[in-house]
Homo-oligomer: A and B are copies of this chain.
Amino acid sequence: MPPVDFRTPLAGLNLRNPLITCSGTYGFGEEYQEYCPPEALGAITVKGITPEPRLGNPLPRITETPGGMLNAVGLENPGLEEFLCSYLPRLQKLPTAVIINISGFAVEDYVQMARALQSDCGLAAIEVNISCPNVKHGGMHFGTDPQSAREVIAAVKRETDLPVIAKLSPNVTDIVAMARAVESGGADAVSLINTLLGMSIDIDKRRPFLANIFGGLSGPAIRPVAVRMVWQVAQAVQIPIIGMGGIIEWQDAVEFMLAGASAVSIGTGNFVNPRAPLTILAGIEQYCRKNGLASSRDLVGLAQR
């Protein structure tokens, strides 16, 4: 039996396989070297970058919830310049597509960063995070208003020749409207989903558990919402979908692909099992074999038909 064909064309990229790691959960590609090296993945997405360095939110930043976790890291990152000088050189050497994830608090932030990010700098694509719910001021509204989402994406597209992936927030009434907006803004792909806005309270201290009060809910708990959004968006747009949200086991990844995701991204799953992406890839291979599918591409949207 021939090996399952994992090659995954996506937004102009040719990924080795459909496994990607989520921004903010896989560091800058070195942290998981021993357990799940970047080389084994289709692509890696680095921690969200902002124009200026950020110390992020005070502690505590994370807490566990049933089947999930809340995080309020607050976009701690070295800033674009430091990223380009100190991190990019090593990332460039990786035989794997590297996706940079950018966050901003004004269209100018995104534009400024996009200008510095071109195909010659060794990155594969830009994932535009218009949805990180952890930052108290701004951020949120790009991700919840179709018009401004469209503008940000269009502005970024104008500045860079890299493929642009729009990462959408699930904290909206109509995810389809958001997806259509970024598609019309020129997005080459969409990432679904970012975290759900949540919070939890420490009943002993009688105050919010996270220093930031609100945090982003991730993990298996949100998977049914993520799969639903992938399903809805897959019916509404032409651009490919990177599915994420609570993928822990290979069955979860297959669920996203059957719903219409061309690739899947592992986030919180990395924390549960540092080898998760590899285990999942092996599982997808088994599943394709068992179901007589020559390529993992054949899974995409199968449940829609």
Binding site for B on A (CB under 8 A): 65-68, 70, 144, 171-174, 196-201, 203, 206-208, 213-215, 217, 219-225, 227-228, 231, 246, 251, 254-255, 258-259, 287, 302-303
Contact = CB atoms under 8 A, between A and B. Distances in A.
B65 A206 contact: no
Nearest to A144: B173
A259 B199 CA distance: 10
Given A68-B221, A246-B66, A199 B173 contact: no
A287 B115 CA distance: 56
Contacts of A172: 173
Given A66-B220, A67-B68, A221-B222, A214 B227 contact: no
A198 B228 contact: yes
A224 B199 contact: yes
A201 B259 contact: yes
Nearest to A225: B198
Question: Of residues A198, A207, A227, which shows the largest number of chain B Cβ atoms within 10 Å of its Cβ?
Answer: A198
Contacts of A213: 231
A224 B200 contact: yes
A62 B108 CA distance: 47
Interface of A is mostly: mixed
A41 B65 CA distance: 27
A216 to B, nearest CB: 10
Q: Please name the 6 residue pairs, one residue from A and one from B, whose CB atoms are nearest each other, closest first.
A: A67-B67, A198-B224, A66-B220, A221-B221, A66-B67, A199-B228
B221 A254 contact: no
B199 A254 contact: no
B196 A225 contact: yes
Contacts of A228: 197-199, 214
Contacts of A214: 228
B173 A66 contact: no
A171 B254 CA distance: 25
A219 B217 CA distance: 15
12 contacts: A66-B68, A67-B68, A67-B221, A144-B174, A199-B259, A200-B224, A200-B227, A203-B258, A203-B287, A208-B231, A213-B231, A214-B228
A199 B66 contact: no
Nearest to A145: B173
B203 A227 contact: no
Contacts of A254: 203
A65 to B, nearest CB: 5
A173 B208 CA distance: 22
Given A198-B224, A200-B227, 18 more contacts: A65-B220, A66-B220, A66-B221, A67-B220, A70-B224, A171-B173, A196-B225, A198-B227, A199-B224, A199-B228, A199-B259, A200-B223, A203-B254, A208-B231, A213-B231, A217-B224, A217-B225, A220-B221
